[in-house]
Amino acid sequence: MNDNYKVFGLSEDCSDEELDAKYGELKAKYSEERFLEGEAGNEAAKKLTEIETAYADIKAARAEKSERTEDKTELYAAIEKDLSEGKLNDAQQKLDSFNERGAEWHYLQAAVFYKKNWSNESKKQLEIAMQVDPANEKYKNAYEKLVKKIDADSDKRFSSYTTGDDRRGYETEGGRQMGGNYCLEWCCEMAICNMLLNCCCNCR
């Protein structure tokens, strides 16, 4: 495809307007020169055929690309609608149908994982989205919010555990908290009891 653009002396990122203008200019030039006598006329006729073919190929490729982009946009919109309605399985099925997975795909996959409370998996997908499209503020903001949430949830779980709200290993008995120094005191008491029992048994 790059060779087609070279025919017009343009790059692949040129606008449709630039392409059309250059095509019109060269077509007019070679359409007139093909009537020259000898080799000059033959060469102009070849050039005219070349620019006609290159122009048609470029236009067809651009139309196909535009159609794919429109299809993706519609599908992304449908996925966002599924997410807003809580249809996570439908959203995932649509995501799985993509062959090309760009930044927006990873962003939406992160949203699906987030809805499922899979925070770490969601974070990884956002990181990929930012790598593919570093300038996208939407991805950055979503990532920052998610990291803050993960940190807050982690702090909450830690605080719950250390304050005794998490009952594992921190049950209270007689107003004293199990764990810490109490465990040591309890073990010492049990050891002393065992020693006294051994002494009594030996006395007999």
Query: Are 79 and 108 within 8 A, CB to CB?
Result: yes
pLDDT tens digits, one per residue of 97-123: 888 889 999 999 999 999 999 999 999
CB atoms within 10 A of CB 139: 24
pLDDT tens digits, one per residue of 77-100: 999 999 999 999 999 999 998 888
Token reading at 184? 């040591």
What parts of the chain have a pLDDT lower than 50?
Answer: 166-180, 182-183, 186, 200-201, 203-204
Q: Domain ranges in the chain?
A: 1-85, 172-203
Evaluate if pTM is beyond 0.85.
no
Fold of the domain built from segment(s) 1-85: Helix Hairpins (1.10.287)
